[in-house]
Amino acid sequence: MKAAIFLVLILVAVASGRETGLRHFKGYKVFTTLATTKEQLDALRVLYLGSDYDFWTSPNGLGATDIMAAPEQIPELLKMFGEHGMEYTVKFEDVETLVEAERVANAKASTGRIDWTSYQTYDSIVEFLTTINSNIAAVSVIGQTTEGRDIHVVKFSNGGPPKKSILFDSNIHAREWIAGATGTWVINEILTNADSYTAILQEVDIYVIPMINADGYEYSRTNDRMWRKTRSVNAGSSCMGCDPNRNFDFQWAGESTSSDPCSDIYYGSAPFSEPETQAIDRFVREAEAAGVQFYAYITMHSYANLWLIPWGYTAGAYPPDFPALLSLGQAAVAALQAVSGTVYQAGQGADILYGAGGTSYDWAKNHGIKYTATIEMRGNSFVLPPEQIIPNALEVWAALQVVIQRVIETVPVEEDPTPVETVTSCGGEIEASSAAINFQLDADIPAGQSCIWIVKPTFDNTRARLVSSGLIGGSGIYFTEFNAYAGTPGQHVQIANVGEDYTFNGNFFLVTLTVAVGANTGFSLEWYSSGLAGGAPSFSGFAALSTPTGSYSYPVGGGQYANSENALFIVNPEVAGTRTLAFTRLDVENDATCSYDAVSVLTWQNNEYTQLAKFCGTSLPTPFNLPTGLALVTFRSDSSVTGTGFTFTWA
């Protein structure tokens, strides 16, 4: 009986992630494996969604993934690599050596006070925060952790009513020590060099939450250096904690999450089940109720040298103002790299890594905050030597200052009093704050004619109004929001009533005219944009193809297409009539659902754009019938395997 009880106790300790004593990593190895096929990637994802292995980086497309394995797990992991033909290298021969080296370096550098030459305890961080005495800084408590530790926020402001506001937070994941160290460094930088930031604080208020997951952080210091989650108790399980960055109430329980409390990516019993995530949500909502308007939210993590922007919950999904988010990310990364040459990549989170539901930066964007991002900071592991705290902080602060400046420059704009551009042609590209389409005013339009105008408003709210129209029943003008990065149509409205206002959100639209048989004359359509700058999308490939028949190849000039491309080709022959669109060449990364790289064909049917097919690989699709001769061909690629593209004809 005693032996049985002892065995149960051992199993409970193992299942709960070594809840007692100091976890040692002697013989633990970190493997970097390279997935070069979809089958290999799928095998890694199955392993990732389990709770057996500690993935230091998630399976991120066809690329490298870091996996830590205990000595007893290594034979099975290597067997899996061999069965799937996966190449690998040993990144760290012994994790215990890595952790011990950090422990020694941290102890040697510690001066007994917080000075960013070593990683500090939660108590030391609290002492630093609660002794702040500055006329530009106010420290408050926004909540408590499961174990009763205070969660602090520092507000920097020169006083007066709320200004445009920015929120930075860090250490949502326990083992990412560099995140909290960077958060406190930012606080100290503003305090000690306040004169340098006087102009900034005249324009914005800055909030910093330096330590969110304090329970997990302390546990990672005293018990398990690789602890990631919170320290909440899970009913019915001996495993503790939840991944707080899977616990936010947006796309909760989605991709890269687990219902297993023993998993490092356990999403919790419900959205905002954790007091730590509740505190952030409550703080934002209460601040907004008091008049604060957050324009930016940046959350600091490690490691991967990435600047991730929404949407991160799945690949191929982009908010309407994605171009503005991407341009900010690219500018921030450029500023960061200029400090010490550290190379970062900016892009949509799931395109670069892998979809993850319930993340804080997606939640913040969905909540209505304009600019949101996750920074995965420098390093090749979670164990970043303490001597890199300040160099990392300096370069990250350079990037954050770009965010601050962008927020300062982001000013809501009113509509123009009158259109600033006028277009009279059948189709064209209009990039402006406002415009008028005056087509064939008081002149006949032949039956069967179709025109497409590409509208790129400067600001993210658009109001369209039909000023006059000589179109008869069966003819129509349609306003279609088009996601240029996903290659899919969104909001679609017929502009039918003269004098009525139609409102849209986005920065890329197709205005489509179709003309039925009868006595049709022209129309005047005006549109005005206002609000915040959204940024027009940029295409890796674009063409408006209007010849009666023709052929088009992409990439133009041959060769391989690149990673992270998005292309749009509009087929709209100037001579009306049915057409057949046929692909004569196809070489696009293949997978069963075409979720990585894909070509789509949309045609105009029943007065809207309808997707006829989405395809990839090398097998040619059946030719497509185009009842009106009008079609959209879209293409997007992810960040992995490429091909030589495609050729299509219309006749």
Question: pLDDT tens digits, residue range 361-385?
Answer: 999 999 999 999 999 999 999 999 9
β-partners of residue 41 are none
Query: What is residue 8's predicted lDDT score, i.e. its pLDDT?
Result: 32
Per-domain residue ranges of the chain? 21-93, 113-409, 422-533, 541-650
Question: What is the separation of C-alpha 290 from the centre of its chain, rounded to a whole number of angstroms?
Answer: 28
Residue 20 pLDDT greater than 60, yes or no: no
Average pLDDT estimate for 630-639: 91
Integer Cα distance of 231 and 254 in angstroms = 22
Q: Which CATH class is domain 113-409?
A: alpha beta
Integer Cα distance of 70 and 53 in angstroms = 8
CA dihedral 128, 133, 134, 139 (to 10 degrees): 60
Question: Which residues have a Cβ under 8 Å from the Cβ of 258 and sit 6 or more positions away?
Answer: 49, 51, 265, 266, 267
Span 171-226, pLDDT tens digits = 999 999 999 999 999 999 999 999 999 999 999 999 999 999 999 999 999 999 99
Q: Which of 48-62, 102-116, 333-347, 458-472 has the lowest mean pLDDT?
A: 48-62
Q: In the CATH scheme, what is the code of domain 541-650?
A: 2.60.120.290
| 422-533 classified as CATH 2.60.120.290 | yes
Residue 520 pLDDT greater than 80, yes or no: yes
Average pLDDT estimate for 239-264: 97
pLDDT band of residue 13 (cuts 50, 70, 90) is very low
Helix (H, G, I), strand (E, B) or coil at 287: helix
Q: Are 66 and 379 in contact (CB under 8 A)?
A: no
Q: Are 296 and 371 in contact (CB under 8 A)?
A: yes
Integer Cα distance of 122 and 118 in angstroms = 13
Residue 5 pLDDT greater than 60, yes or no: no
Average pLDDT estimate for 39-58: 90
pTM over the 0.85 mark:
yes
Query: What is residue 12's predicted lDDT score, i.e. its pLDDT?
Result: 35
Query: What is residue 2's predicted lDDT score, i.e. its pLDDT?
Result: 36
Reading across the β-sheet that carries 566-571, which strands appear in turn? 541-545, 566-571, 631-636, 598-605, 608-615
Integer Cα distance of 521 and 345 in angstroms = 51
pLDDT band of residue 638 (cuts 50, 70, 90) is confident
Average pLDDT estimate for 604-612: 93
Residue 639 pLDDT greater than 80, yes or no: no
Identical fold for domains 422-533 and 541-650, yes or no, is: yes
Average pLDDT estimate for 419-431: 95
| 21-93 classified as CATH 3.40.640.10 | no
Query: What is residue 593's predicted lDDT score, i.e. its pLDDT?
Result: 81
Average pLDDT of the chain?
A: 93
Average pLDDT estimate for 133-144: 98
What is the share, in percent, of the chain residues with pLDDT greater than 70?
Answer: 97
Query: What is residue 62's predicted lDDT score, i.e. its pLDDT?
Result: 64
Average pLDDT estimate for 521-527: 97
Angle at 99 between CA 398 and CA 302, to 5 degrees: 30
Give the residue numbers annotated as catalytic, written as ranges.
Answer: 376
Query: What is residue 165's predicted lDDT score, i.e. its pLDDT?
Result: 98
pLDDT band of residue 11 (cuts 50, 70, 90) is very low
Query: What is residue 17's predicted lDDT score, i.e. its pLDDT?
Result: 41
pLDDT band of residue 487 (cuts 50, 70, 90) is confident
Query: What is residue 288's predicted lDDT score, i.e. its pLDDT?
Result: 98
Query: What is residue 61's predicted lDDT score, i.e. its pLDDT?
Result: 66
Integer Cα distance of 248 and 284 in angstroms = 13
Residue 240 pLDDT greater than 80, yes or no: yes
